[in-house]
Amino acid sequence: MRLIAFDAATGKVNWKWDDDGPAYSSPVIATLGGVRQLITQSQKHCLAVSPADGKLLWKIPFATSYDQNSVTPVVAGDLVIFGGVQKPTFAIKVTGSEATPAWDAREITMYMSTPVIDGTTLYGMSDKQRGSLFAMNATTGAVLWKSEGRLGANASLTDVGSAILVMADTGELTVQQKGGNALKELAKFKVADSPVWASPAIAGDRLLIKDKTNLVLFQIKGSG
């Protein structure tokens, strides 16, 4: 794995960090304990480096059965939430350059699907039950709600305010309304005939869906 920081104006490489193997997780930037940090997963660790110079701030061991960390970290206050295939979803408390365990939820495991957060509620898809939506308390790790399952192997979740778009790899897009601790399905659309692994892209009232072979543009009509 190599984290590289470029100067956006010139393309000059400012720094590199390459002390572990690759992963599929995307980095996020947050200020925790007064320290600005770039947080991500590598092949065998969860870690943070300084965006200014690439200096390692903290690192904790985290490896899955396939060395395939794919879930992007989620920041909730001073907590950072991580997950991986066949591993409990867990949170660490970050204070500057120190990271300590906060909670873990063995009932929820995630493979490739990154959850979204609204206030103190974390919504996501577990790989258990062949794909099950869930809601968790991001502060305590308590599981608030789980769906029946069979959603698919993977789903991309997009927060659009009062609802969440759930794009399953099966080609089905559902609109899930937030309500209390659960989600309520408002609508379901078949938007692709081949597997969808990419996240949808929203541009105004347009929705772009990329399946295995096509990129399709949909227009969103109506309000709400």
Residue 1's pLDDT band, with cuts at 50, 70 and 90, is: low
Lowest pLDDT segment from 22-26, 67-71, 214-218:
67-71
pLDDT tens digits, residue range 43-65?
A: 999 999 999 999 999 999 998 88
CB within 8 A of 42, min separation 6: which ones? 1, 19, 20, 21, 22, 23, 69
φ and ψ at residue 130, rounded to 5 degrees: 60, 35
pTM for the predicted model, two decimal places: 0.92
pLDDT tens digits, residue range 185-204?
A: 999 999 999 999 999 999 99
Cα 151 off chain centre by: 17
d(CA 178, CA 49): 34
Tell me which residue of 163, 135, 167, 145 sits closest to 154, measured CA to CA: 167
pLDDT above 60: residue 113: yes
d(CA 132, CA 150): 7
